[in-house]
Chains A and B, each alone.
Chain A
């Protein structure tokens, strides 16, 4: 009973989604297969027709050349030059007669000998053959043609060869007056004359009807599709049954364990039950993490340093204050969270962070002193958090440009070195009394020259969703424009004294919706100039392509704005 109750809101979602997607995949697969099978049958059919028609045509050509080269000269030798026996000497007559007999038993092979000006009117070319005459005449090197032609609603596969007059042919095809009387007696004196040797005499063609076979192939593929369809439906039903048994019911059980407390919320949750499970596990993780932080003991001595009090927490590590035992010189110590040190993945991130602090040099980065095991010793960082400067009211206008110029310079140096910070928040910046900005955390930074452990592990968005660029929420890392979004949020906060979004717990999808509808900074501070507002909105554009593409451009615009309005 318990399982069913859980399955009502969310389960149907997952099931429906699974069912719809698999139906779509199976259906389109079936359709594709049927089309492919039809196409393949058609291809085979055409290849077969091509070979057959060519064989027949070549055979007729052989008969014609036999008559031309052996039979006719022999007849002339026997009966004298002036005799013409059409039945034994005319190539056209002999070939058409033989093929007419052939067609008595094989009616599907239609032989034609077509001419534009024939002795026998039966051999007059039809409009299609006339076109082919033109085609062969255009270029005398064209000696063969094959293709599919529609005649009277049926499709035929046709092979064609041209035939040219030899000098011996001119005796019967020259002038009507000189032609043998046997010929003129039979066909009259109108057609078949006035040719010269080398003229195109006619076209020999063999046609094979293919319509019926194509129709059969089409029907075959429809039957194939229907069989696939019914098979897919049966498979779908089985899969659905299996999915219900193996996944849905057990997932429901799991849900009943993890989200027993949040019954009211679950009814309104938009995603399927995997989303609910994910959210529950997320909150569990946060709980475990905070419990661990609370229990971790404050270390007192690390090597030659005394550790006193924590200054701030980054994404991977604490920043502690401390001093050297002998020289009493004050230092800052970066110490990884317990759970970070225990997890190889987070440890790789911490390692990257420590290497960045070690190798990069910039006025805004604390100076590296030495490394003691997993602890980084930095020159003392003093100052108030940028967040406490911004808290509740906007940043002092005198401070805005000096602070942001330093920020821009720092971020452009990071970007120029191929490093993306990914986690720009006011909490990680300290501002000293002399208005120098210091960056205290780079726990989520990634360099383009090294593989990114967070991406490699497919961890999804890390850090504070409030300051995160939309593409980071979607899980895309390594784009410097994400940092420009972060700078935009800082600028929004500094100029108006308000966060652009309310700081409540939301799902990543909800955050994306929020980020798409950004409230105008002038809602909070009407005196803000329009150009300044445009700068902030452009830096915080939802689409990374609409944003400032380079930190330097943002800096240039803000400095111009500062000169104009005296920021």
Chain B
């Protein structure tokens, strides 16, 4: 089974379309979106609708999705994120709001767990990027593979033993074999706002038979999205960071 995992679209329709088009070339059976469909970007409704229309696709709730429904307060976010959320609240259609409200926080499939940020406190939205929180995440789930998003940086964390991990940043498109029995946390990066200094969209395909993680980077017309951000009068910093991938 080839499972596509992607996350953090943030209303960047241009990027999502490129990713969907690219994934179609790679024989994907199912896909899972790890949340944050909206926020930052100028096309929240279009992105939600595109994800809903994907075949055999499930979606989880991200912090921006929850904030856009006012389930958590957007006033705890950075000022540009907060402004974008308040703008998104006005844009979202009732039907899409209902869809976002029904998204689960966590999903368990056999030996895989999917969450937006971390499994030990899914609504705490803490980043898992160091040993302390990686070990805490490992102990919060019994699965072998934990797929996360939220940090916008593709990352592979391998558990060496009970007290230690191996942290590997994934840059550019790559194939990583995971045939050994070690437990791993896999961050699939971001579709709509990568922050690892590579502005290309990032997603991954997990081949459960071959036990291979395939990370892909897809170029898209970021200038077009940046232009749309400016036209929607969203904070201009959001358009600049898209072009630089920060």
Contacts and interface: CB of A to CB of B under 8 A. Distances in A.
Interface of A: 412-413, 416-418, 448-449, 549-550, 552-553
B58 interface: yes
A412 B2 CA distance: 12
Contacts of B107: 418, 448
B58 A417 contact: yes
Q: For chain B, give the interface size range.
A: 10 to 19
B208 interface: yes
B43 to A, nearest CB: 24
B29 interface: yes
A416 B57 contact: yes
Interface string B1-38: 11000000000000000000000000001100000000
Given A449-B104, A552-B1, A553-B1, A416 B208 contact: no
Nearest to B2: A552
Contacts of B58: 416-418
B55 to A, nearest CB: 7
Contacts of B110: 549
Interface string B40-58: 0000000000000001111
Contacts of B30: 412, 416, 552
Contacts of A413: 55-56
B209 interface: yes
Interface of B: 1-2, 29-30, 55-58, 104, 107-108, 110, 208-209
Contact of A549 (B1, B55, B57): B1
A413 B108 CA distance: 17
A418 B29 CA distance: 15
Contacts of A418: 58, 107
A416 B209 CA distance: 17
A553 B29 CA distance: 10
B108 to A, nearest CB: 8
A549 B29 CA distance: 14
Nearest to B31: A416
B156 to A, nearest CB: 22
B31 to A, nearest CB: 8
B178 to A, nearest CB: 15
A553 B209 CA distance: 8
A9 to B, nearest CB: 44
A412 B56 contact: yes
Given A412-B29, A412-B30, A416-B30, A550 B208 contact: yes
A553 B211 CA distance: 13
B1 A550 contact: yes
A447 to B, nearest CB: 11
Nearest to A416: B56
- A-B pairs with the 5 shortest C-beta distances? A416-B56, A550-B1, A552-B1, A552-B29, A416-B30
27 contacts: A412-B29, A412-B30, A412-B56, A413-B55, A413-B56, A416-B30, A416-B56, A416-B57, A416-B58, A417-B56, A417-B58, A418-B58, A418-B107, A448-B107, A449-B104, A549-B1, A549-B110, A550-B1, A550-B29, A550-B208, A552-B1, A552-B2, A552-B29, A552-B30, A553-B1, A553-B208, A553-B209
A413 B55 CA distance: 8
A418 B104 CA distance: 11
A557 to B, nearest CB: 10
Contacts of A412: 29-30, 56
B95 to A, nearest CB: 13
A413 B56 CA distance: 5
Given A416-B56, A417-B56, A418-B58, 15 more contacts: A412-B30, A413-B55, A416-B30, A416-B58, A418-B107, A449-B104, A549-B110, A549-B208, A550-B1, A550-B29, A550-B208, A552-B29, A553-B1, A553-B208, A553-B209
Contacts of B2: 552
A549 B144 CA distance: 15
B68 to A, nearest CB: 21
A550 B107 CA distance: 16
Contacts of B55: 413
B77 to A, nearest CB: 27
Nearest to A418: B58
Contacts of B108: 448
Contacts of A416: 30, 56-58
B119 to A, nearest CB: 16
A52 B45 CA distance: 79
A221 to B, nearest CB: 36
A550 B208 CA distance: 9
A217 B104 CA distance: 58
Nearest to B55: A413
